Structure 1
Amino acid sequence: MSRYLEAGERVVGIEALHGGITAEMRRLTVGTRDGGTRDLVLRTFVDVEHAEDWLNREAGALTLLTGTGVPTPGLVAADPTAAQCEHPSLLMTHLAGRTVLDD
């Protein structure tokens, strides 16, 4: 995780997010060198059969939407095969809003 932070940054808080249907979601508060903070979201697929495919698709979609004006999180890193993490995971910027699960 630390390889995806700027020099001098560190994770100063972790909060479980609600509303994830297929993955565990956590907001990571990152302390910056200037004393501020920024938020990232770690999406972790635990015991999900198609995690690698889903994470590759999500990373691809986030990449395609970059710079289009569509409000989406920015892709920071993806580990669809759990080579770096305990479980397949995706790290992205935090996008403020609320979870809507209705039709």
Structure 2
Amino acid sequence: MKPSILALGRMKTGQMNKTETEYAEHLQILKNCGEIAWYRFEGMKFRLADNTFYTPDFAVMRSDGRLEMHEVKGYWHDDARVKIKVAAEMYPVEFLAVRKKTRRDGLGWKIERF
């Protein structure tokens, strides 16, 4: 019997997974309501160190002009949490982690700010 192999679940650059697709639909609703002015999937890339970069899932501009970076997560790997914390310390932009709420939690999106 062969041991099972776990995939990392990472999509190709520029391709959204199911949760990111649902969040993009949420952002489009916010844009239609005028709460945000613009958003782009993998729209910005941040240099953290030599040969180390961080690309948030969504770059979002609020209607008041504030720029935010949204990272959509179902599960956090340690390296991803470190990268978003480092980016938040280095750049004058607000970084948010977004998780889909369960039915028990009332659905919607849970936001953690860095």
* TM range, smaller chain: 0.3 to 0.5
Name the larger-Rg structure. 2
Q: TM-score, normalised by structure 1?
A: 0.37
Q: Highest relative contact order (Cα 8 Å, sep 6+), 1 or 2?
A: 1
Q: Hey, which of these two has a bigger chunk of helix by percent? A: 2
Q: TM-score, normalised by structure 2?
A: 0.35
